[in-house]
Amino acid sequence: MSKLLEVKNLSTQFKTERGIAHAVRQVNFSLEPGETMGIVGESGSGKSVTARSILRIIENQGGRISSGEILLEGDDLIKKSEKEMRAIRGNIISMIFQDPMTSLNPLIKVGEQIAEVLRYHKKYSKQQAKEETIKIMKDMSIPSAEKRYDQYPHEFSGGMLQRLMIAISLACKPKLLIADEPTTALDVTIQAQILRLMKQLQDQYNMAILLITHDLGVVAEVCDKVSVMYAGEIVESTDVASIFEEPLHPYTWGLIESIPKLGERKGSLKPIEGQPPNLAEKIQGCAFAKRCKYRTELCDREKPTLTELRPSHYVSCHHADELVKERGNSYASAAKG
């Protein structure tokens, strides 16, 4: 199957008071039509910056893509003009942002905000756009769509607002949907509904989804493959089953061990000690070394490369193979938990 999206050696940086912050460094991954990929990691790991770099909106937020390629069906988005990117955003690539309340205009009726996308990209008339918008709202299971078309964002619950954001994102039936923490502010019942809705729409349109999240439970439920990011780099990448059954990187182990499990006593969580490195400073050796209990002199001196240690399972760690053999396959229970 041909690749829909290929990200090659992507690096993005920001100019700060403390110097140039290298927020994303040499990131590589690909997505095929109908596939869901999760990017996981703690706050500040570069997940959202990667997503915004793909859409080329990072440049409006003080960032700059310093190197790499972003190939959409073989066409490099980095070489596109802003006018060409406006024709792509919301049409071929759409994004669901983390907080729908700040993403929607509070002064414009929600129906008009969805219809605006159709009028801009599909050149619908005002009436055509309204009719299609009401149909889309019904598809999103928004009750009384005709009436709610004329309501404002403050008249909707958090779950309904997220459905509206999905409606705006999917109005033009994009080939790629980027979902940046789409269920973070929602309770577990609404979260499950939103994820199920996204899956149904993906199957309907054969759409690829790039899911940005810190929630490994969401990854286990909806993703086909996953990349783990730390300090702007991908440190592990494989299919979703392997990431839980046999994680290879110590940082991934830490993420899995920090998942709360049913029946555990208070205080039994295992946090990852320490803090991520300052991305405005040069990182010598492995970025995770100072927080890793398996650290050696080699880790401080030499940067590891992302290597295929198992079939289609890539890891960036000098000692991954020996550590996995030493610890054994002890993480299958974490996936079940």
249 strand-pairing partners: none
Are 165 and 76 in a shared domain?
yes
Q: Rounded distance, CA 12 to CA 58, Å? A: 9
Is the distance from CB of 284 to CB of 297 less than 8 angstroms? no
Is the distance from CB of 272 to CB of 44 less than 8 angstroms? no
Are 107 and 48 in a shared domain?
yes
β-pairing, 176-180 vs 75-76, is unpaired
Are 152 and 54 in a shared domain?
yes
pLDDT at 337: 42
Q: Rounded distance, CA 324 to CA 61, Å? A: 40
Domain final residue pick, 223, 246, 272: 223
Is the distance from CB of 232 to CB of 23 less than 8 angstroms? yes
How much is the mean pLDDT over the chain?
Answer: 89
Are 214 and 284 in a shared domain?
no
User: What pLDDT digit, counting tens, does each position of 71-119 carry?
Assistant: 999 999 999 999 999 999 999 999 988 776 778 899 999 999 999 999 9
Smallest Cα–Cα separation from 178: which of 211, 200, 216, 202?
211
In this predicted structure, the answer to whether residue 190 has a pLDDT above a threshold of 90 is: no
Tokens standing for residue 300: 């401080």
111 versus 261: the higher-pLDDT residue is: 111
User: What pLDDT digit, counting tens, does each position of 278-305 carry?
Assistant: 999 989 999 999 999 999 999 999 999 9
What would the mean pLDDT of 193-215 be, rounded to a whole number?
A: 88
Q: Which residues contact 95 (CB under 8 A, 6 or more apart)?
A: 51, 55, 89, 169, 177, 178, 179, 180
pLDDT band at 260 (very low <50, low <70, confident <90, very high): confident
Are 206 and 237 in a shared domain?
no
Length of the chain counted residue by residue: 337
pLDDT at 266: 64
pLDDT at 61: 84
pLDDT at 336: 40
Are 109 and 218 in a shared domain?
yes
Enter the pTM of the model.
Answer: 0.89
pLDDT at 328: 63
pLDDT band at 2 (very low <50, low <70, confident <90, very high): confident
Are 262 and 331 in a shared domain?
yes
In this predicted structure, the answer to whether residue 154 has a pLDDT above a threshold of 80 is: yes
Q: Which residues contact 281 (CB under 8 A, 6 or more apart)?
A: 18, 19
User: What pLDDT digit, counting tens, does each position of 214-248 carry?
Assistant: 888 889 989 999 999 999 999 999 999 999 999 99
pLDDT at 1: 53
Are 281 and 326 in a shared domain?
yes
CATH number, residue 28: 3.40.50.300
Are 10 and 63 in a shared domain?
yes
What is the residue range of 38's domain? 5-223
177 versus 100: the higher-pLDDT residue is: 177
Are 130 and 217 in a shared domain?
yes
Are 92 and 210 in a shared domain?
yes
pLDDT band at 135 (very low <50, low <70, confident <90, very high): very high
What would the mean pLDDT of 198-209 be, rounded to a whole number?
A: 90
The DSSP symbol for 38 reads E
Domain final residue pick, 196, 223, 250: 223
Domain final residue pick, 200, 223, 246: 223
pLDDT at 333: 39
With pLDDT > 90 as the criterion, what percentage of the chain qualifies?
65
87 versus 267: the higher-pLDDT residue is: 87
pLDDT at 187: 76
Q: How many domains, the chain?
A: 2
In this predicted structure, the answer to whether residue 47 has a pLDDT above a threshold of 90 is: yes
Are 201 and 241 in a shared domain?
no
The DSSP result for 84-109, as a single string, is HHHHHBTTTEEEE-S-HHHHS-TTS-
What would the mean pLDDT of 54-73 be, rounded to a whole number?
A: 93
pLDDT at 297: 95
